[in-house]
Amino acid sequence: MKYILAIDQGTTSTRAHIYGQRGECVCGYQREFPQIYPKPGWVEHSPADIWSSVRSVVELALNGAGLAAADIAAVGITNQRETTVVWDRRTGEPVYNAIVWQCRRTADYCKKLVHDGFSERIYNRTGLVPDAYFSATKIKWILDNVDGARERAERGELCFGTVDTYLLFKLSGGKIFATDYTNAARTMLFNIHTLEWDKELLRLFDIPSGMLPHVYPSAHDFGEIETEPLKGVHVHSVVGDQQGSLFGQGCFEAGDIKNTYGTGCFLLMNTGGAPVKSENGLVTTLGATAGGKPCYVLEGSVFVGGAVVQWLRDGMGLIKSAAASGRAALRAKNSGGVYVVPAFTGLGAPYWDANARGTITGITRGTTKDQIIRASLEGIAYQVYDVVKAMEKDAGISITRLSVDGGASANRFLMQFQSDILRAEVVRSRSGESTVLGAAFLAGISAGVWSEGDVLKLLGGGARRVFLPGMDEGERLSLLSGWKKAVERARLN
């Protein structure tokens, strides 16, 4: 009997889960690590903190399950995407902290790229819109701002990696320098059509090609771990977290779509073997498959998802816990014409309006606290609706089912309302851990433990919760028209 160990290195915490041959979770451990905010809008992690959090959850998981390296058939890695580490090839020593995907320090430079007309060239090659999110401008910032870094990089002494690459390097004692298609696709340096690092973009950002890792499929034998406690085991998968979740949700076919309801919402749609160009403000990226070639994916995000519930709890003091929001919404029966547009930091896809701000409309003397809470949850679902509609338009596909996970997907009211408003089935995964499960399945497939068909069967066998649409069509259309008006008002700010 062999097991799969999957590591999920996330933005605020790291997890390690061990899965048995039937895909059952034997045990899972999670550890938070410090966030570093050197200036407003800047976010960093210490690579040493990331590495020690990984080592500690791996040890906890092995001990918790009473297993040793010899019992593990394969290791899978999924990770926060775009976060950028630059380190010395010989010593493994980072030259600067990891610059986290959320960090806005290169926002002005990205604005200039847009202003100077580079958007289309970048989109045509990478599928991305120039933004501080992606790794390219973060690498450039390190080379431009850390003493001696550019010279060292030009001499071939420095390595760049997203977190997966850094972990592979550490786990293998410096022997593996690699990443996968899904992580490479988020750097803004990778050509998603030729599946190669793009020479012209490397010139544009002034990044030496020698710094870049080899790129492989997500399900692949990346090589052997040389450090304890996993010495001798091979890493058999690497996948960016959102693509890990897409795979872990079993979204293997074109038109399959998932949403993760976390702090923000991340929607990804598998579009199959061909990229879909977005006319509606989505990005085109690569997804994980069981085979050698990646699939293409449309991605859209909502900045404020579960975060509106945190605001109700911590900012407004209207609820004591996130879970209390669902009970309040059910008590309210309806939102009484109130709409909450949680555009706290502007609106993402499909509006892309940085100036929009949070807005509550339709308040009367009779409006209750519970109705404001209900309208806030509905505001999450309407934003997801808007992104799904943009995906349908771009892909020319009509959605009948949305697979969901993430913290706020625990909210039954929200899931039922989402299903009603989309007029589609909403399927909540069995474990709420699709991301780490995706990495485990990919690793198991690469190591020959499972086939893709086995994985689909394992996914189908688990307990899932399905929400079916039941709302009267007249009511649905009237609610949606009210939402449209509320969004227009949020954009007047």
* Binding interface with ligand ADP (CB under 6 A): 12, 262-263, 306-307, 309-310, 322-323, 325-326, 406-408, 410-411
Min dist. Cβ of residue 239 to ligand ADP (A): 16
Residue 235, beta-bridge partner list: 75, 223
Q: Taking Cα atoms as reference points, which of 345, 342, 340 lies closest to residue 373? A: 340
Distance CA 453, CA 270 (A): 18
Min dist. Cβ of residue 421 to ligand ADP (A): 16
Backbone angles phi and psi of 310, in degrees to 5: -60, -40
263 versus 446: smaller Cβ distance to ligand ADP: 263
Min dist. Cβ of residue 96 to ligand ADP (A): 25
130 versus 326: smaller Cβ distance to ligand ADP: 326
Min dist. Cβ of residue 100 to ligand ADP (A): 13
76 versus 342: smaller Cβ distance to ligand ADP: 342
The SS3 call for residue 238 is: strand
The single-letter DSSP state of residue 306 is T
Q: Taking Cα atoms as reference points, which of 386, 384, 441, 387 lies closest to residue 408? A: 384
Min dist. Cβ of residue 143 to ligand ADP (A): 30
Distance CA 324, CA 8 (A): 28
E strand residue ranges, 343-491: 359-361, 401-405, 425-428, 465-467
118 versus 303: smaller Cβ distance to ligand ADP: 303
213 versus 326: smaller Cβ distance to ligand ADP: 326
Q: Is the peptide bond before 229 cis (omega within 30 degrees of 0)?
A: yes
122 versus 414: smaller Cβ distance to ligand ADP: 414
Instruction: State how beta strands 13-19 and 25-32 pair.
Output: antiparallel
271 versus 376: smaller Cβ distance to ligand ADP: 376
Min dist. Cβ of residue 399 to ligand ADP (A): 22
| Shortest-Cβ-distance residue relative to ligand ADP | 407
**Cβ 437 vs Cβ 461: under 8 Å:** no
18 versus 309: smaller Cβ distance to ligand ADP: 309
Provide the phi-psi class of 67: left if phi over 0, else alpha when psi is between -120 and 50, else beta.
beta
Min dist. Cβ of residue 407 to ligand ADP (A): 2
Min dist. Cβ of residue 332 to ligand ADP (A): 15
Min dist. Cβ of residue 175 to ligand ADP (A): 31
Helix axes 324-332, 369-395, angle to 10 degrees: 100
**How many Cβ atoms sit within 10 Å of the Cβ of residue 352?**
12
Residue 50: both structure tokens together: 């990331």
417 versus 450: smaller Cβ distance to ligand ADP: 417
